[in-house]
Structure formats: C-alpha cells, structure tokens
Structure 1
Amino acid sequence: MNNRFSFVVNPKGNFGIGTTNPDSKLTVAGNIHAREVKVTVSAGAVPDYVFANDYKLKSLDDVEKYIKQNSHLPEIPSAQEIEKNGLMLAEMNLNLLKKMEEMTLYMIEQNREIKNLKKENETLKTLSDRLSRVEKELSKK
C-alpha cells in the first residue's frame, strides 16, 4: 500500500486507513490527530470503589514484594505484555486511575503516621528535657 491517502472498507464493515486489512471498526496504520477522544466505560469500571470502607488495600510491603518479583505494578501489564499485545487505552487509564487513588490512600495513611510520630517525638523531647533537669539537680547533690 504505497498511497498514503488510501483506505478500504472490508465486507465486515471495518474501515482501514493505511491498511488493507482492518481488524476493527476503524484501523489506522499510522498516527491520528484529534482534539479529544471520548471512551465509554462500563458501569462500575471507574475505580472509586477503592475509597469504600470494605476495600482491601494491599500493604506497601506486599506491593514491594510484587514489584521485586515481577518488575511492574500489580494490575498493570508488563512492558513485554504491552509490546506483544498493545495497549487498551480505556483499561490502562482506569488502571492508572486506580493506582493514583491507591497512592492517595497510602499518602493519607503516611501523613497520619507522620503526625503521630511528630506528637510522639514532642512527648519524648519533653520527657528528655525533664530527665535532663532531674539529672542536673541530682548531680548538684
């Protein structure tokens, strides 16, 4: 196919641009340019469920173990899988959104832990100061 403006419609109604063998309703062998692309997703596919009280967020230790074993995030395809099978944009965007929402939950938890550690640190500083004063008084005797 040498003519870059060529297109084909096959008997199944699939439309191909830059290809003679379209395998989808629209197959483009080359780049596309659009102002916006709207993707329709199934009900319940948007991962806001990660914010539900009964959602079981994996521990960061479990995530770390998975990454060490697989060299990619859980529920995200590996580079080899993407190179072999391509990338489904709607699915990937939803998976990335889920990971962002989970990261937000991890950050909230870490922020809570930092606040608690700061309080504990202040308490320990106060106790240390008191102990230093007591030791100083005892050393005078």
Structure 2
Amino acid sequence: MARLCFSEGYRLPDLGATADFIKVNKHLPGIPSATEVAEQGILLGEMNAKLLEKIEQLTLYVIELKNDNQNLSERVIELESKIK
C-alpha cells in the first residue's frame, strides 16, 4: 500500500538516493521494472496507488524547489542591493 505523502511526519526520499537507485536498478524505487511487469503483469489498483505516491512525491519536490528558488531570488536581490 502506498504511503500518504501529505501526512504529518512523512519523510520525502532523498533525491540523491533515488538517483543512485535508478542508476543501479533502472527503475523508480517502489515501482516494478519493465521486466517484472512483462513477466508478472501488474494489479491496476496497486499500481495506481504507487503512481499516486510518486505524483505526491514529485509535488513535494517541486514545492521544495520553488521555496529554494524564492529564497535564492531574495538573496540575489539582497546582494545586488549591497553591491550598489
């Protein structure tokens, strides 16, 4: 069963660890590989729950990036004002 990414206390997987997993395994963590799907098939309900979890994770990563970008933009404005 997929975890609720928007629940209090949810720990978002580290992107570096996810990238390392993908390099080694050639698929997302928690999602079966293409070979596994071809050999064993998938249960649509389970796969939909897993995909929803990944969508929620992506949304949280985008929110983090937006916040980081906003903070960097504010810092650039601050530094530019000090230079002038």
TM-score strictly above 0.5 = yes
Residue 69 (structure 2) pairs with residue 122 (structure 1): no
Distance 1:46 1:72 in 2: 17
Distance 1:88 1:73 in 2: 17
Of all paired residues, the percent bearing the same amino acid is 38
The aligned residue for residue 79 of structure 1 is 34
TM-score, normalised to structure 2's length? 0.93
Q: How far does residue 127 in structure 1 lie from its aligned partner after superposition?
A: 1.3
Q: How far does residue 46 in structure 1 lie from its aligned partner after superposition?
A: 6.0
The aligned residue for residue 37 of structure 1 is none
Distance 1:46 1:62 in 2: 19
The aligned residue for residue 50 of structure 1 is 5
Structure with a larger share of its residues in helix:
2
The aligned residue for residue 69 of structure 1 is 24
> How many equivalent residue pairs?
84
C-alpha RMSD over aligned residues = 1.2
The aligned residue for residue 59 of structure 1 is 14
Equivalent positions of 1:1-141 (< 5 A) are 45=1, 47=3, 49-129=4-84
In structure 2, runs of 5+ residues without a counterpart are: none
TM-score, normalised to structure 1's length? 0.57
State the SS of the aligned residue for 2:5: helix
In structure 1, runs of 5+ residues without a counterpart are: 1-44, 130-141
Structure with a larger share of its residues in strand:
1
Q: Deviations over 1:68-115 (max 9, x none)?
A: 111100000000100110111111110000000010001111100000
Distance 1:110 1:99 in 2: 16
Moved over 2 A (4+): none
